[in-house]
Amino acid sequence: MGKVLVSASHFDTLCKEAWKLLEEHGHEVIFDATRSFPSYSCEELIQILPDVDAAIIGMDVYDKRVFAHAPKLKCVCKFGVGVDNINLKDASEYGVKACNCPGQNSNAVAELTIGFIVGVLRGMIPLHKAMEKSTWPRYIGEEMEGKTVGLLGFGAIARMVAKKLSVFDVKVKAYDLYPNEKAAKELGVTMVSQDEIIETCDIISLHAPAVEANYHLFGEEAFKRMKDGAFLINAARGALVDLPALAAAIRSGKIAGAALDAFEEEPLPADSPILQCENVILTPHTGAETKQAYHKVSMVAAQNVIDTLDGKEPKFWVNK
């Protein structure tokens, strides 16, 4: 029997089957439903982890400081895909299997991305705000038809976005460090360079990981190179975008609008300049927040933990 610390939100309400699965395998689930934001600070983890065998985590940071105080910890599983908040080298050094749940929330994020694109092209947020003030503006928006959409990254989520875009009569280009030419051909996507994505697309949707090489990939210089009146969509990682630079580009009119679900600092500070911009859609890292995604992710996370604690090799072991 192992103790499993869970800091993924809604685990008690939307992930009951995963909770039951863990208990059926003899494990005790530790979940604090009273926390407004379920992730734990480093100091809190240092106090809790000495008696914990596995963890299913949200945005908590797991690195050497944490692993050094977790002698029984065998598995830390990200409730999602991106493991940038787990130091994989440190996890390996302390014999901890780091896992994730790829593909389980891809459809949820892809659907949000499509909603973002339609929303910024039609100026939905400014129009809504205007109507809250009892005004009736005639806003001239943009149609998707005939646009060129660039996908920066061509993993599972981006491929789902490309599939959904196929009904909008748009041209889709994509860049990936390791291009999947077969999938691109099947989806009618043209694989191009990163420079071509930045310089030729009307709409750029980010689907790249938050590795060091991608830090502030979209900053002042990238915005200067983008087409006048282009739109930026980021439902991936906040570190990809220099937020003050984006705000400046929107205020200048260079960028016509943006939709963002991820931010370098979360929660987003109240004084962030992006909050003063028109035609932006901002959501609190909610891309994977659907009932269906929670169920699918939680079941995979639970199985990763069960397999690890049973001495088996988990299916989605990322620091193998």
Q: What sign for the dihedral angle of Cα 179, 185, 187, 191?
A: positive
Q: Classify each residue of 43-76 as buried b or exposed e, where b means 16 or more C-beta atoms within 10 Å of its C-beta.
A: eebeebbeebbbbbbbbbbbeeebbeebeebbbb
184: which residues sit within 8 A by CB, 6+ positions away?
154, 174, 190, 191
**3-state SS of the chain: helix, strand, coil percent to 5?**
40, 15, 45
Catalytic residue among 221, 237, 264, 265: 237
Catalytic residue among 24, 221, 266, 278: 266
- Catalytic residue flag (residue 35): no
Q: How buried is residue 113: exposed, middle or buried, by Cβ count under 10 Å (0-12/13-18/19+)?
A: buried
CA distance readout (Å), 91 to 38, 42, 76, 146, 147: 22, 15, 9, 47, 44
In this structure, what token pair is assigned to residue 8? 């993924």
DSSP 217-228: SBSHHHHHHSPT
- Catalytic residue flag (residue 285): yes
Catalytic residue among 285, 289, 295, 313: 285
- Catalytic residue flag (residue 216): no
Kindly list the catalytic residues: 237, 266, 285
